[in-house]
Amino acid sequence: MPRILVADELADEGLRLLTREEGIAVDYRPGPSEKDLLGWIPEYEGLVVRSKTKVGAAVLEAGVRLKIVGRAGIGVDTIDVEAATRRGIIVMNTPLGNVSSAAEHTLALLFAGARNIARADRTMREKKWDKNSLVGVELSGKTLGVVGLGKVGSHVARVAKAAGMTVLAFDPFLSAEKAAELGVTLAALDRIVTDSDFITLHVPLSDQTRNLIGPGEFKRMKKSARIINCARGGVIDEKALIAALAAREIAGAALDVFEREPLGDSPLLALDNVTLTPHLGASTEEAQRKVAVDIAQQFVAYFKRGVVENAVNIIAVTDPKIAPYAALAEKLGSLAVQIGGGAVSQIEVTALGELAGRDTRAVVVAALKGALTPACGDRVNLVNAGVIAEERGIRVIESKSRDLKDWRSLVTVRVVGEAGETAVSGTVAEDREPRVVRVNQYEVDLRPAEHLLVMFYPDRPGMVGKFGTILGAHSLNIARMEVGRRSRGGQAVVILTLDDPVPPAVLDEIRSAVQVEFLRAVRL
């Protein structure tokens, strides 16, 4: 009989669903210390948590019988997913349970910020009748900039339009057709920053989105602009926000998430033009019930029928010869999107050679996951990648051909978007190591690594010395260098494997010193 430990508070509806299933034993022990959890976990096959209990590598190692960890909610940042994957433990979340609650909290802060509700409440409690200093603004006729138009952002956009607002949307993975269906106007982030009266953020926290809104963005905003963040702390540079609010560079802010939680002794507390809530986006009775029921249903499906839903770290591959190509395809998808940049309208995955004779659906899904993750973060997984692509109006094409001369099998991921086409090809070598063998028309021999620097520039003497010197001056070590060119003196591609990420300032320095036609830091 499998045993499940519920280590955080869970709504009664979810607990009842779990406990009434014959053949599953459930222990409800919310709020354990790490020591408690380490002592208990060896006895359990399943673990359910919310945001309070941390599931680190030590807990996962101690879970000798553990098969699955479930997060009743969307974020899995409190779970060491990499360690779970190494241990063969499935990690799943419930990505849809709090969509309405998160969107409605955003809207509550939008309205509250416009009409100074929080400050008005404080002054009333101080027995003041301070109408003159609390004059607000109407939403009708104003422009709302929505950064990230997934399910939550789309919900916010629809309500804002009903309130008479014009909606601009920035989302690299939203097609023009989908934007038209929602009645929003696609815009670059810079236009969102300069033209919006209100800005709301709905993106995951990743290398691409960390400090997405910083000092430069605040200086370009209208002085009457207000910004709302119910997504993730760290998407806004808090120091820059505090400075902008204190200097009245912008009119106000409303925050539900912070770089450090709990907030503690922050300068934000002393500002009168910011509304603060303690990460309440999912804190509604309905959302608590939904995520509890969702995770319970997913655990029952797994333990009773062997069905895995909303897994964030599982490749559903039954053919062992497909697995390395699925892992490769995920890297290729991420690399192609990050090199291409801009909005994506089509992703084509092609299997060539021997691979074409097998079921390659897992390869396609893995490529989609890799391509969507830079924009969607931990919301996208191998279960929902296809659905998310469809939601964003991205056309997905799978093609196969047995014809292949130079390799036994090859996978090509081609991304089409506003920046044109980018195609990346790879294979799995005899040592089962993945290789990237072509970037657009250039042949390379690249071992995928976490930190890459990709450059296209004229093939001239002295170029390597220039960027190598700059990287060395900043203590950035080059582990490997791959060069591809089609003719002497023509354009060349150089891909550097680095031990550490390249800061934006160093990228700017390289651009100034080297005549690069294209330069981008990539993280896989």
The per-residue pLDDT for range 120-172, each reduced to its tens digit, is: 999 999 999 999 999 999 999 999 999 999 899 999 999 999 999 999 999 98
Pair 231, 203: CB distance under 8 Å: yes
For residue 410, being part of any structural domain is answered with: yes
Out of 421, 448, 475, a domain closes at: 448
330 is catalytic: no
pLDDT bracket for residue 490 (50, 70, 90):
confident
* Among 390, 320, 490, residue whose Cα is nearest residue 151: 390
Residues 11 and 67 in one domain: yes
* Residues 415-431: b if buried by 16+ CB within 10 A, e if exposed: bbbeeeebbbbbbbeee
- Which stretches within 306-426 are classed as H helix? 323-340, 361-376, 385-391
Q: Is residue 310 in a domain?
A: no
Q: Exposed (0-12), middle (13-18) or buried (19+): which is 341, by Cβ within 10 Å? A: middle
Interval 400-442: pLDDT, tens = 999 888 889 999 999 998 878 999 999 998 767 899 999 999 9
Whether 202 is catalytic is no
| Rounded alpha-carbon distances, angstroms, from residue 222 to 139, 197, 225 | 15, 7, 5
CA distance 29 to 236: 36
- Angle subtended at Cα 510 by Cα 507 and Cα 513, rounded to the nearest 5 degrees: 155
**Is the confidence at residue 476, as pLDDT, over 80?**
yes
Check whether the bond before 461 is cis (ω within 30° of 0): no
Amino acid at residue number 199 = I
Active-site position among 279, 289, 358, 523? 279
pLDDT of residue 238: 97
336 is in which domain, residue-wise? 317-448
Reported as half-sphere exposure (CB side, CA atoms, 13 A), residue 13 has a value of 13
In a domain, 22, yes or no: yes
Identify whether residues 121 and 229 lie together within a single domain.
Answer: yes
Asked if residue 299 lies in contact with residue 48, where contact means CB atoms within 8 angstroms, the answer is yes
Q: Which CATH number goes with the domain that contains 466?
A: 3.30.70.260
Residue 346 and residue 235 share a domain: no
CA distance 415 to 372: 11
Band (pLDDT 50/70/90 cuts) for residue 71 is very high
Given 261, 421, 433, 450, which residue is catalytic? 261
- In a 10 Å sphere around its CB, with 0-12 CB exposed, 13-18 middle and 19+ buried, how is residue 375 labelled? buried
Query: Quick one: pLDDT band at residue 462, thresholds 50, 70, 90?
Result: confident
Domain with residue 429: its CATH number is 3.30.1330.90
Residue 279: active-site member: yes
Could you give phi then psi for residue 421, rounded to 5 degrees? -115, 140
* One-character DSSP codes across 490-506: SEEEEEEEESSPPPHHH
Are residues 20 and 107 located together in one domain of the fold? no
DSSP 297: H
User: How many domains does the structure of the chain reveal?
Assistant: 4
Q: For 244-281, what is each residue's pLDDT tens digit?
A: 999 999 999 999 999 998 999 999 999 999 999 999 99
Residues 263 and 114 in one domain: yes
What's residue 259's pLDDT?
A: 94
Task: Check whether residue 341 and residue 241 sit in a common domain.
Answer: no
Strands (E), 306-450: 344-353, 395-401, 409-417, 420-428, 434-439, 442-446
Mean pLDDT of the chain, nearest integer? 92
Under the banding of pLDDT at 50, 70 and 90, the label for residue 228 is: very high
| Helix/strand/coil for 418 | coil
Of 383, 75, 54, give the one whose Cα is nearest residue 205.
75
Regarding whether 221 and 88 lie in a shared domain, the answer is no
Please answer whether residues 269 and 263 qualify as being in contact, where contact means their C-beta atoms are separated by less than 8 angstroms. yes
**How many CA atoms does the CB half-sphere of 475 hold within 13 Å?**
0
Pick from 403, 420, 448: which residue ends a domain? Answer: 448
Same domain assignment for residues 324 and 438: yes
| Alpha helices for 315-360 (secondary structure H) | 323-340
Residue 107 to residues 163, 181, 254, 293, Cα–Cα distance (Å): 11, 21, 11, 25
Task: Decide: helix, strand or coil at residue 4.
Answer: strand
The two counts, helices (H) then strands (E), for the chain are 17, 22
Q: What is the CATH number of the domain that holds 11?
A: 3.40.50.720
Give the total residue count for the chain.
524
If one compares 176 and 91, the residue with the highest pLDDT of the two is 91
Same domain, 491 and 379: no
Q: What angle do CA 388, 278, 372 make, to 5 degrees?
A: 15
pLDDT digits 0-9 by tens, 315-353: 555 577 888 999 999 999 999 999 998 789 999 999 999
Same domain, 205 and 66: no
Identify the pLDDT of residue 207: 82
* Helical (H) or strand (E) element with 483: strand 478-485
Report how far Cα 95 is from the mean position of its chain's Cα atoms. 12
DSSP string, 184-235: -EE--HHHHHHH-SEEEE----STTTTT-B-HHHHHHS-TT-EEEE-S-TTS
Q: Do the Cβ atoms of 339 and 422 come closer than 8 Å? A: yes
Same domain, 414 and 441: yes
Catalytic one of 71, 155, 202, 232: 232
Q: In this structure, are 271 and 346 located in the same domain?
A: no
